[in-house]
Structure 1
């Protein structure tokens, strides 16, 4: 069976590695164009592109797959991509966190199967892992689904559940779901090859949307309940990193726990090696790993050296 793969970040790269290891014929990979990344903002290839090149797989990086785009460059790249896809005669396209919308013209070439990091129909959209943690969900998972033109609305083929632990961050949960998705897509394609991959329409009830995470969400509002802020700290680790400010200095907060205490929201109640306890709208939040501007992530005890906080206020 000939498989075209479309994806961009590490979540997708895990699946691509699994399909290569399972022996599927992958003649072509679609991924996002190289872009600046990291502190130095050096232009970098996507994780998926790196895996493809390591295995000698052809890579296409169109800006768009919409042949009717009003941008001549995007339209030209889309036309070239479709011509290449049509010439391949592939059996199925696997899509995982690609970052481009697949138009009807792409979906019509061959069946498209998507790896989505949530229990659909909950958390359709761009940031399902972040939003599941932020909302306090007890579990999430991976859904293998057929693709259609709607946003993550296609029929479900396989679904597996994963508990969200109190210590999970988006980073740790991402790794769990990426590994699970990689295993599931291999199983799905083997079933597809045998004609034994039934699809079930998503239920109409329980639909929610996971909006893309913006850097503007990073600033914590200490008038909120401590449990809400604890979830945000975990949801925003590693991106964009939760933030507070003290006397105008922006401080990143990488790990925190709900704590006992009360006071004016933002007030530092105690500050020691066990953490910096900050009053919230309800309860208090113990900040246990923080980062000064230009510094490293540090446990609270190390962070406090040269950064006295007793009696100050987080805003």
Structure 2
């Protein structure tokens, strides 16, 4: 039975952790995850998804929440555990060389590397309109997502939002890590092609701001930023549910109400048409498109804002 230290934080990582716990070939000897964070208006101290899961399902497994992995005490604790593997999935911290040298460190990255190295591979693939994505296992080195690839699995992500793709890739990653660890000695690591490498950064709330210029780009942003940070106009009006109706038609004015429907309406962009199904003004409740227009006394030909 292989001894594994697991490092991960969000629900994506929990899916992988669960698969390892259920496999009799592996023994999870410790979880490393991000420290508890203050969440919501009341700033309630909340554990990470992996920590909450482990506390409920395997409370005897030790959990570590270090602020830094460079601490010599932490490095010694990891070394003393004598892991056969360190498995990393969306942990949120860089592993220093001192830890990388303790045991093979296998990272599960939610893209087909070398595309989308960094913090937002799923959102970036959706934003760029990719129809295919996937997950890789890779041997970690000091660079960010630069290590050699061990195995990968591919899937279709066309017209899927971020939440849906996260779930698909989490389930793929759960299968992939079992394969990689069981076959580790027989796998030949494949060096990444640096000429094909792309980077992606952490998503910020302001990334959800849109202008009604290109309907196709707005639609991809809507998919990528669901459930957070959503997409919104500069007046704070959120578009919570929409469809792409046309991506080519040109208009002189963006934001014009083109047609009223039973619970939605068609809206012009400089290029393309969107069907707006659900909206939300800042601090107010979610409304269907038609109800929102009725409340604002807006009609066909009017500008939304």
Q: Give the direction of change, closer, same or farther, for the CA distance of 1:117–1:106 in structure 2 (3 Å limit).
A: same
Q: Does 1:112 align with 2:94?
A: no
Q: Tell me the CA shift for residue 278 of structure 1.
A: 2.1
Which runs of structure 2 are paired with 1:7-156 in the superposition (5 Å)? 7-23=8-24, 24-38=26-40, 40-54=42-56, 55-56=58-59, 57-66=61-70, 78-156=71-149
- TM-score scaled by structure 1? 0.88
User: What does the per-residue CA deviation read over 1:209-267, in whole Å, with 9 as the maximum and x for residues that have no partner?
Assistant: 121111111111112x110111001111011011125xx4x221122222246341223
User: What does the per-residue CA deviation read over 1:90-133, in whole Å, with 9 as the maximum and x for residues that have no partner?
Assistant: 11100000001111111111110001100111111100000111
2: CA distance, partners of 1:297 / 1:31: 35
Q: Tell me the CA shift for residue 84 of structure 1.
A: 0.8
User: What does the per-residue CA deviation read over 1:51-104, in whole Å, with 9 as the maximum and x for residues that have no partner?
Assistant: 2222021011011112xxxxxxxxxxx222111101111111000000011111
Instruction: Identify the match of residue 171 of structure 1 among 157, 163, 172.
Output: 163
Q: Give the direction of change, closer, same or farther, for the CA distance of 1:309–1:110 in structure 2 (3 Å limit).
A: farther
2: CA distance, partners of 1:299 / 1:266: 17
Instruction: Identify the match of residue 240 of structure 2 among 229, 254, 261.
Output: 254
List gaps (5 residues or longer) in structure 2. none
1: CA distance, partners of 2:97 / 2:304: 50
SS in 2 for 1:160: strand
Other-structure match for 1:206: 196
Q: Is the 8 A contact 2:130 2:158 kept in 1?
A: no
- TM-score scaled by structure 2? 0.91
2: CA distance, partners of 1:263 / 1:255: 25
147-156 vs 79-88, which deviates more? 79-88
Q: Give the direction of change, closer, same or farther, for the CA distance of 1:240–1:13 in structure 2 (3 Å limit).
A: same
1: CA distance, partners of 2:120 / 2:52: 23
Q: Tell me the CA shift for residue 295 of structure 1.
A: 4.1
Instruction: Identify the match of residue 215 of structure 2 among 205, 226, 232.
Output: 226
Q: How many residues align?
A: 297
Other-structure match for 2:274: 285
Q: Is the 8 A contact 1:118 1:140 kept in 2?
A: yes
Q: Give the direction of change, closer, same or farther, for the CA distance of 1:266–1:62 in structure 2 (3 Å limit).
A: same
Aligned residues: CA RMSD: 1.8
Other-structure match for 1:69: none
2: CA distance, partners of 1:214 / 1:314: 26
Q: Is the 8 A contact 2:129 2:158 kept in 1?
A: no
SS in 1 for 2:173: helix
List gaps (5 residues or longer) in structure 1. 67-77
Q: Is the 8 A contact 1:263 1:279 kept in 2?
A: no
SS in 2 for 1:205: helix
